[in-house]
């Protein structure tokens, strides 16, 4: 049955994924998918398509309309959307950015609503209402109100401070200024006042405030250079160019003010590299694409000014569309803590119900027959039991600690400040400290399983440096003097002899300089001449200094290296290039530029020397160059060995070669070249074919080796995180070879690593799916599921997969409607049912395939996903979250990382060179990747340990405190009588036991920060949830139950038959309450002393100070003076002074405390002696381990003649400026009148047609 196949097909089903292409299928339209398929569609499909198109007009996906200089146009009724009931707003967003949550009017109601969504806060609000009912209240209302107000107030203040910071950041951005045409003049306006359709002027180094159509600029042909670091983390410049018509007409202010163009384009979307639209102006339509659009977040560079028309503003801009949905993040401990609080709720209800039943039974058996207990109410025992149920809910309410949540917030806030204040995470070069941008995720930093990292700007500095080269079989770049003698310590080469040297290159091989200056080997000079002439770099002069603008940092590094070695590229025109060769300027005619693309992996230039000779110079990847070499190349093997050496040092390599061309050969080739250049169809394929004809029989000159500089400490950080059992996945938009090379450079990959690629993974997953399908037969439910590993045990494996393969494997390819003619009558019920079942099967297959992929990838020690889109980055993170239930962290530096950062449990932004977009969306930020090890292994681990200790202790002390009421109930007729004074209940969690536990949660540490970094294995306790889980929770509860048992029954036994020194029995209720309370305070404060690993004066002071504070306040509250002032609130007059002057009472307190604590001391001693943890062992030998271990880079073993892998070639994965250069559009020249330009163009067109 082919119903599904007929109705819906997968795009490019039989095609092989292209490793070089970034898939943008996540947002592609039906039109784009259709355009892709038309090249290969079957004849019958074409006939069907044409029939359908003839029958119904084809509707384009361009529904966004923009009118220049006409704000009223965008406020028409059909552009208005209903927002709320009858309130309408324009579909065109204004340019203001809003990240804050509250304003002055909504703060109080919204914040209270959010806080009361927490179960505990709502519970205490209900409790407060119950305490206001006289029939059931057993405690004064203030015992709940005071702690509740403290909790709500502290949380509200914290939320207010966070939101004020967001307001400030929003205002800073929204109040930036630029020039906007208003009343036919350019006027200064704030960003937030800009609207769609406005014409704006931007100047050099300005940020672009919205997505705008470039109309004109100060550069030739209205070129505009932009830096896209905010978007993709790349600092090399990219160029945009206006339409010729707007370039000619829209240069002056009055013409821009009169501009009334109309644009139809695609709706706002997240595709950074795509744009489709049409400009209608002067009764003519002009196509628009991404090369004419300037995106918000980019910076204008090397362009004095430019003009643009706002297309998308504010939330509709591509950078904001890429930011993904803001998710409310909570930690694993938060979720666990909530479940535990729910467990305590259940325990509380069961205890209250049991005691209420006990009271009803007691009333029926004893209370009704005891005349002295008559209270004037003739209620039935069951009704009294019902009232007592609510009474016990109030009495035992401290089982659910209201102060728990506020204490957690205070601890998290303090830990966030410790991160902010950590000078070892401060980057002085950029004056950038670490910043905890959220206060709710600190302990989760100690539980990370997977890190997802961007490459460019995160692992690397995006700075390329010329390190080594091989010329004529000889390797240069080692530490050598001019006589070829090697030295371990030698001064860098002095380039002062070269007037064009930029002073930035650090090179230690003096022998190469000697070779260049002596000219003994002409190949050496030829080598650097090739670097100076074969490129698409543009040059301008600033203050007399040469300034290069390259399409990629790799190419810029090579041209700068040639400049420093004496071969400086000075200037170029459309047909010439001028080089300074060791001080002598020579100009060469450029006959053709054969530009780079991702398929060719090389570029060439054909020049005519001043002597009249024609030469082709070529540079490219070794894999493609070696295929095109002349068979008589003597230095082929030596250069291959050098390439292997460079590869083992993780340098990016490029082969250089040349060829002499005869005049006749060139003329014949040039005819083919010109014909291909004006081909109306498949022009790129025709040009590539012509290029192939001339790029053969090349003579090899040598190879370059460039270092893609890693940030300091990246390999060491990755090594330590790996030892902490944290897996690192690299997700990058860069090409496969580059990503793989960086993997080796940062030691994520090693020579022993077995690398699996997309095709290998696809085959493995296909086999697994077949096996699973075969097993899912009739007997599947009787066979237990067994997890089968994809790889045999042992061995170090890594996965490198591209975005195209990722879509193929995860069945994420875009589907499209087939163009088969469809009947107009509705389908039958049977067809609908089969279609639904088919969709379910496809969804199940997709889910199973994704599960298998995640299982396979997680068996690898490292995963590198390259050529992936921002949406794919987020998808990979989400897959690991969903199927592995693992805690994830994403780290990046550009706008293309924002979606990933928001999707992960924790997002980290790298601040500094690449802009602030990722930082603004992150939870934590710092300037260098290496600080990640300190954030996780020190702050994260400490925060996790502190929070776990805090929670275990908090539950313990509250159960120990509250369950005394439970034991007391058996001796008071289950009457909900409290065992303590009301004020003691009110202040217990607020004053008497709060400070020590807070300080432990802030300051405690099992081992020092240096030892935490030296022994990353300590980190695994957080990953495995060893310190706080349900088992630990119930152990804490049991500890609290036993403590409460001892606290009640030892004083009870002591009070049964007692006579004081004055001959009176001190066994009254009030003295009993004071005895239990005193023993409780001393016990819980000494218990936290036993739990503390890191003692300071502050800890000791807080413990003994809390005990002293308790006795001081108690004696005050029990004094006669306060009773006179507030007789109804303070009823324990004289109790403390009377009871605590009895030595017997003090002996009872000491005995109670000893029985509570001595078993704990014994168990701790035995566990540390017999079953010590890893941190116990390190703590025991910490003095011997004080010396910090130095990290050593892994040594690579090079074996001559054995090429294990190819290094990445140093080339950008996009076209350079060749088309601009060869067309002359980038060359500054005098502007001619428009009619002269049109006449010129017409004549040229006629000449072309005639030829």
Is the pLDDT reported for residue 245 higher than 70? yes
Beta-carbon contacts of residue 1014 (< 8 Å; ≥ 6 apart): 1185, 1188, 1189
Structural tokens at position 927: 């300037």
User: Three-class SS of residue 185?
Assistant: strand
Long-range CB contacts (< 8 A, 24+ apart) of 256-260? 256/181, 256/199, 256/215, 256/307, 257/69, 257/181, 257/184, 257/185, 257/199, 258/69, 258/184, 259/68, 259/69, 259/199, 259/215, 259/309, 260/67, 260/68, 260/69, 260/70
Through-space distance between the first and last CA atoms of the chain, rounded to whole angstroms: 58
Q: Is 658 left (phi over 0), alpha (psi -120 to 50) or beta?
A: beta
**How does residue 31 score in pLDDT terms, banded at 50, 70 and 90?**
very low
Which residue, among 799, 801, 740, has the nearest Cα to 1209 in the 3D structure? 740
User: Could you read off the pLDDT of 1105-1128 as tens digits, one per residue?
Assistant: 999 999 998 888 877 777 667 666
What is the β-pairing status of strands 211-217 and 699-710? Answer: unpaired
The whole-angstrom separation of Cα 994 and Cα 269 is 51
Structural tokens at position 239: 């160029």
**How does residue 1192 score in pLDDT terms, banded at 50, 70 and 90?**
low
User: Could you read off the pLDDT of 1060-1099 as tens digits, one per residue?
Assistant: 555 555 667 788 888 999 999 999 999 999 999 888 899 8
CB neighbours (10 Å) of residue 773? 11
* Dihedral angle, C-alpha 509, 511, 517, 520, nearest 10 °: -140
The whole-angstrom separation of Cα 378 and Cα 380 is 7
User: Could you read off the pLDDT of 476-516 as tens digits, one per residue?
Assistant: 988 888 777 777 778 888 888 888 888 888 888 888 998 89
Per-residue confidence (pLDDT) for residue 1175, from 0 to 100: 80
The whole-angstrom separation of Cα 269 and Cα 387 is 61
User: Could you read off the pLDDT of 845-858 as tens digits, one per residue?
Assistant: 888 888 888 988 88
Is the pLDDT reported for residue 85 higher than 70? no
Beta-carbon contacts of residue 991 (< 8 Å; ≥ 6 apart): 1106, 1109, 1110, 1113
Mean pLDDT across the stretch 562-568?
93
Mean pLDDT across the stretch 1220-1247?
48
The whole-angstrom separation of Cα 961 and Cα 347 is 15
Is the pLDDT reported for residue 1102 higher than 90? yes
User: Could you read off the pLDDT of 508-553 as tens digits, one per residue?
Assistant: 888 899 889 888 888 999 999 999 999 888 888 877 788 888 877 8
Question: Rounded to 5 degrees, what angle do the CA atoms 810, 744, 930 make?
Answer: 95
What one-character DSSP code corresponds to residue 667? H
Which residues are designated catalytic? 454
What is the β-pairing status of strands 727-731 and 450-453? Answer: parallel
Which residue, among 598, 628, 591, has the nearest Cα to 613 in the 3D structure? 591
Provide the mean pLDDT of the chain: 81
- On whether the CB atoms of residues 966 and 1096 are closer than 8 A, the answer is no
State percent of the chain over pLDDT 70: 82
Is the pLDDT reported for residue 46 higher than 70? no
Structural tokens at position 372: 């002295």
Per-residue confidence (pLDDT) for residue 297, from 0 to 100: 84
Per-residue confidence (pLDDT) for residue 1109, from 0 to 100: 94
User: In which order are the strands placed within the sheet that holds 305-312?
Assistant: 185-190, 177-182, 199-203, 305-312, 211-217, 293-294
**How does residue 1143 score in pLDDT terms, banded at 50, 70 and 90?**
confident
Per-residue confidence (pLDDT) for residue 1161, from 0 to 100: 94
**How does residue 656 score in pLDDT terms, banded at 50, 70 and 90?**
very high
Mean pLDDT across the stretch 1232-1240?
37
Per-residue confidence (pLDDT) for residue 131, from 0 to 100: 77
Is the pLDDT reported for residue 36 higher than 50? no
Query: Which residue has 């305490």 as its token pair?
Result: 131
Per-residue confidence (pLDDT) for residue 391, from 0 to 100: 86
Burial class (CB in 10 A: 0-12, 13-18, 19+), 967: middle
DSSP state letters, 557-594: HHHHHHHHTTEEEEEE-SSEEEEEETTEEEEEEEEEEE
Comparison of pLDDT for 1145 and 88, the residue scoring more? 1145
State percent of the chain over pLDDT 90: 30
Is the pLDDT reported for residue 188 higher than 70? yes
Mean pLDDT across the stretch 880-908?
89
Structural tokens at position 1063: 């001959």
Comparison of pLDDT for 200 and 459, the residue scoring more? 200
| Out of 330-339, 415-424, 898-907, 1177-1186, least confident range | 1177-1186
Beta-carbon contacts of residue 164 (< 8 Å; ≥ 6 apart): none
- In sign, the C-alpha dihedral spanning 745, 749, 752, 754 is negative
Question: Rounded to 5 degrees, what angle do the CA atoms 354, 356, 362 make?
Answer: 105
């Amino acid at each position: 049955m082919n119903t599904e196949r007929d109705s819906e097909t997968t795009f490019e089903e039989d095609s092989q994924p292209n490793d070089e292409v970034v898939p943008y299928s996540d947002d592609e339209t039906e039109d784009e998918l259709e355009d892709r398929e038309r090249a290969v569609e079957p004849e019958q499909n074409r006939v069907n398509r044409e029939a359908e198109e003839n029958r119904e007009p084809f509707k384009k996906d361009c529904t966004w309309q923009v009118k220049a200089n006409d704000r009223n146009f965008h406020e028409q009724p059909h552009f208005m959307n209903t927002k709320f009931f009858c309130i309408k707003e324009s579909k065109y967003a204004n340019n203001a950015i809003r990240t804050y949550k509250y304003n002055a009017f909504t703060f109080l109601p919204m914040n209270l609503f959010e806080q009361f969504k927490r179960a505990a806060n709502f519970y205490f609000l209900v409790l407060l209402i119950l305490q206001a009912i006289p029939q059931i209240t057993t405690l004064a209302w203030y015992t709940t109100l005071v702690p509740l107000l403290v909790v709500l107030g502290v949380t509200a203040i914290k939320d207010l401070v966070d939101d004020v910071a967001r307001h400030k950041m929003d205002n800073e951005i929204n109040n930036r200024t630029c020039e906007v045409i208003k009343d036919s003049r350019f006027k200064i306006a704030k960003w937030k006042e800009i609207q769609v359709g406005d014409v704006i002027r931007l100047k050099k180094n300005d940020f672009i405030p919205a997505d705008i159509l470039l109309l004109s600029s100060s550069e030739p042909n209205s070129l505009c250079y932009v830096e896209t670091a905010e978007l993709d983390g790349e600092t090399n410049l990219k160029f945009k160019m206006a339409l010729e018509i707007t370039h000619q007409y829209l240069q002056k202010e009055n013409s821009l003010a009169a501009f009334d163009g109309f644009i139809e384009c695609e709706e706002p979307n997240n595709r950074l590299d795509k744009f489709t639209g049409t400009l209608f102006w002067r009764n003519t339509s002009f196509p628009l694409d991404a090369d004419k659009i300037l995106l918000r977040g980019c910076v204008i560079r090397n362009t004095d000014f430019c003009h643009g028309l706002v297309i998308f503003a504010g939330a509709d801009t591509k950078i904001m569309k890429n930011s993904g949905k803001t998710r409310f993040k909570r930690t694993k401990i938060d979720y666990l803590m909530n479940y535990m609080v729910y467990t305590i709720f259940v325990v509380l209800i069961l205890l209250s119900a049991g005691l209420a039943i006990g009271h009803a039974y007691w009333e029926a058996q004893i209370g009704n027959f005891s005349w002295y207990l008559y209270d004037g109410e003739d209620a039935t025992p069951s009704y009294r039991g019902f009232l007592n149920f609510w009474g016990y809910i109030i009495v035992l309410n401290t089982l659910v600690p209201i102060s728990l949540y506020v204490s957690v917030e205070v601890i998290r806030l303090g830990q966030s400040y410790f991160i902010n204040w950590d000078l070892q995470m401060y980057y002085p070069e950029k004056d950038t400290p670490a910043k905890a941008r959220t206060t709710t995720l600190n302990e989760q930093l100690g539980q990370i399983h997977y890190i997802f990292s961007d490459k460019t700007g995160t692992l690397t500095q995006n700075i390329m440096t010329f390190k080594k080269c091989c010329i004529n079989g000889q390797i240069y770049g080692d530490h050598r003097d001019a006589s070829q003698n090697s030295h371990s310590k030698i001064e860098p080469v002095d380039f002062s002899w070269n007037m064009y040297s930029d002073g930035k290159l650090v090179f230690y091989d003096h022998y190469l300089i000697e070779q260049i200056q002596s000219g003994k080997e002409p190949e050496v000079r030829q080598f650097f001449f090739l670097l100076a002439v074969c490129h698409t770099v543009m040059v301008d002069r600033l203050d007399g200094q040469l300034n290069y603008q390259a399409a990629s940092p790799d190419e810029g590094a090579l041209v700068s290296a040639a400049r420093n070695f004496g071969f400086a590229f000075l200037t170029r025109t459309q047909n010439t290039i001028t080089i300074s060769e060791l001080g002598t300027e020579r100009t060469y005619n450029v006959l053709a530029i054969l530009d780079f693309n991702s398929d060719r992996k090389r570029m060439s230039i054909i020049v005519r020397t001043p002597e009249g000779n024609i030469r082709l110079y070529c540079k490219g990847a070794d894999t493609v160059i070696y295929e095109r070499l002349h068979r008589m190349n003597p230095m082929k093997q030596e250069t291959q060995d050098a390439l292997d050496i460079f590869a083992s040092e993780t340098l990016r390599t490029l082969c250089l070669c040349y060829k002499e061309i005869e005049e006749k050969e060139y003329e014949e080739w040039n005819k083919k070249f010109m014909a291909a250049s004006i081909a109306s169809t498949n022009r790129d394929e025709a040009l590539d074919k012509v290029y192939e004809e001339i790029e053969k029989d090349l003579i090899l000159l040598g190879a370059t080796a460039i270092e893609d500089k890693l940030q300091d400490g990246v390999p060491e950080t990755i090594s330590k995180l790996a030892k902490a059992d944290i897996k690192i996945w690299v997700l990058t938009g860069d090409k496969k070879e580059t990503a793989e090379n960086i993997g080796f450079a940062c030691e994520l990959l090693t020579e022993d690593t077995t690398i699996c690629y997309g095709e290998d993974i696809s085959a493995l997953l296909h086999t697994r799916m077949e096996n699973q399908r075969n097993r899912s037969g009739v007997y599947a439910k009787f066979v237990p599921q067994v997890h089968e590993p994809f790889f045999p045990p042992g061995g170090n494996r890594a996965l490198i997969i591209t975005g195209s393969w990722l879509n193929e494997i995860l069945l994420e390819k875009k589907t499209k409607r087939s163009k088969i003619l469809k009947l107009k009558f509705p389908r039958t019920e049977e067809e609908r049912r089969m279609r639904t079942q088919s969709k379910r099967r496809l969804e199940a297959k997709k889910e199973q395939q994704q599960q298998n992929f995640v299982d396979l990838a997680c068996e690898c020690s490292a995963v590198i996903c390259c050529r992936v889109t921002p949406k794919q980055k987020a998808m990979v993170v989400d897959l690991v979250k969903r199927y592995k239930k693992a805690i994830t962290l994403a780290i990046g530096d550009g706008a293309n990382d924002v979606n990933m950062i928001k999707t992960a449990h924790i997002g980290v932004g790298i601040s500094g060179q690449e802009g602030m977009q990722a930082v603004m969306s992150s939870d934590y930020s710092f300037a260098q990747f290496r600080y990640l090890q300190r954030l996780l292994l020190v702050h994260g681990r400490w925060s996790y340990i502190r929070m776990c200790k805090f929670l275990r202790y908090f539950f313990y002390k509250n159960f120990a405190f509250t369950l005394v009421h439970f034991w007391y109930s058996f001796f008071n007729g289950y009457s909900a009588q409290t065992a303590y004074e009301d004020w003691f209940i009110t202040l217990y969690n607020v004053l008497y036991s709060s400070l020590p536990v807070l300080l432990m949660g802030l300051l405690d540490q099992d081992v020092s920060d240096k030892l935490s970094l030296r022994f990353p294995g300590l980190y695994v306790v957080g990953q495995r949830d060893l310190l706080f889980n349900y088992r630990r929770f119930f152990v804490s509860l049991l500890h609290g139950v036993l403590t409460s048992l001892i606290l009640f029954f030892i004083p009870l036994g002591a009070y049964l038959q007692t006579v004081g020194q004055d001959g009176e029995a001190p066994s009254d209720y009030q003295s009993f309450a004071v005895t239990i309370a005193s023993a409780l305070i001393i016990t819980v404060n000494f218990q936290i002393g036993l739990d503390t690993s890191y003692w300071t004066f502050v800890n000791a002071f807080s413990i003994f100070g809390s005990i002293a504070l308790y006795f001081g306040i108690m004696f005050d509250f029990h004094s006669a003076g306060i009773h006179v002032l507030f007789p109804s609130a303070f009823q324990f007059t004289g109790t403390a002074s009377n009871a605590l002057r009895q030595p017997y009472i003090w002996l009872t307190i000491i005995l109670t405390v000893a029985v509570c604590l001595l078993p704990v001391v014994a168990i701790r001693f035995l566990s540390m002696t017999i079953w010590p943890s890893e941190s116990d062992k390190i703590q025991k030998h910490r003095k011997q381990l004080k010396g910090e271990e130095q990290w050593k880079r892994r040594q690579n073993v090079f074996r001559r003649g054995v090429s294990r892998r190819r290094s990445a070639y140093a080339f950008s994965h996009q076209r350079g400026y060749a088309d601009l250069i060869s067309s002359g559009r980038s060359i500054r020249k005098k502007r001619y009148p428009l009619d002269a330009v049109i006449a010129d163009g017409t004549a040229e067109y006629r000449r072309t047609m005639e030829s």
